Amino acid sequence: MNKRYNKIIKNIKTNILKLTYKAKSSHIGSSLSIVEILVAIYFYSKKKMDRFILSKGHASLALYCTLFEKKIISLNTLNSYGTNKTKLMGHVSHKVKGVEFSTGSLGHGLPIAVGKALKFKIKKEKNKVFVVISDGELNEGTTWEALMFAVHHKLDNLNIILDNNRIQSMGYSKEIIDLNPLKRKFFAFGCRVIEVNGHDISKISKALNIKNKNKPKIIIANTIKGRGISFMENNNLWHYKSPNFNELNLALREIKKKYA
């Protein structure tokens, strides 16, 4: 991987760990699974006039740390996470500079992204819309309704990235509602479907930049919840808990070594 992107990933994951520890907040596993996706969007693909919505709003810390790396929010703002009167709420808030839409209740981000894409299409503007959804959100009817609407209106300016870490709040996604085979389902709905390693920035970026015509694009990004920290990976306890002092230092050492 490019050394520049490695450094950015290391910085983002380090800040996620430190801020989660300081705030005693949850959703660290969900935040760690989308870091490479956000880096691909913000540092590799996204242009100034494009729009981004993080529909899985509980992974807010990953977005806040990415916005800091992009110099969109300040260090003082980032460090306010978890404090009284902070703008950096536990679920993504539009009150934060660079955040397009407040999310948290799953299934709402994609409909908003579809609306923005339709507006750009009607006005013949070349802006693209990127939206990251979770595999747990596929249990929400609004997700599929929005998808049908996007296909009907041929929204080829819409890029949907599925963070397919296969785990949601109460367990493995396939045990709660098994939606496989996902690729065939999305294809049957009329979408352009691409499946990639969700931790490979070059492959994510290549998929985002593939030109599409008359249909929305869905990128199934296969990821690992808690990516980069051995004792957090695929462990759903880290959907809820924050690291203690010893766990924080162990995790920081792993991140430093992995992304050296």
- pLDDT at position 7, please? 96
d(CA 52, CA 54): 7
- pLDDT at position 67, please? 98
Residue 117 within a domain: yes
Contact 222, 194 (CB under 8 A): no
Q: Which range marks the domain in which residue 135 is found?
A: 3-56+104-258
In tens, the pLDDT along 7-66 reads 999 999 999 999 999 999 999 999 999 999 999 999 987 777 899 999 999 999 999 999
Residue 191 within a domain: yes
In tens, the pLDDT along 181-206 reads 999 999 999 999 999 999 999 999 99
Residue 98 within a domain: no
Q: Please tell me the total count of domains within the chain.
A: 1
Contact 173, 167 (CB under 8 A): yes
- pLDDT at position 1, please? 58
Residue 17 within a domain: yes
Bigger pLDDT: 104 or 112? 112
In tens, the pLDDT along 114-157 reads 999 999 999 999 999 999 999 999 999 999 999 999 999 999 99
CATH code for position 236: 3.40.50.970
Identify which of 32, 8, 23, 94 has the alpha carbon closest to the alpha carbon of residue 238: 32
d(CA 250, CA 223): 22
Strands 167-168 and 158-164: unpaired
Residue 15 within a domain: yes
Residue 116 within a domain: yes
Query: Coil, strand, or helix at residue 200?
Result: coil
Residue 65 within a domain: no
Flag whether pLDDT at 75 surpasses 80: yes
The full length of the chain comes to: 260
Question: Left if phi > 0, otherwise alpha if psi is -120 to 50, otherwise beta: which for 126?
Answer: alpha
Q: What is the pTM of this model?
A: 0.96
Q: Work out the angle between the directed axes of helices 3-23 and 245-258 (0-180°, nearest 10).
A: 170
Residue 93 within a domain: no
DSSP label of 60: H
Percent of the chain whose pLDDT exceeds 70: 100
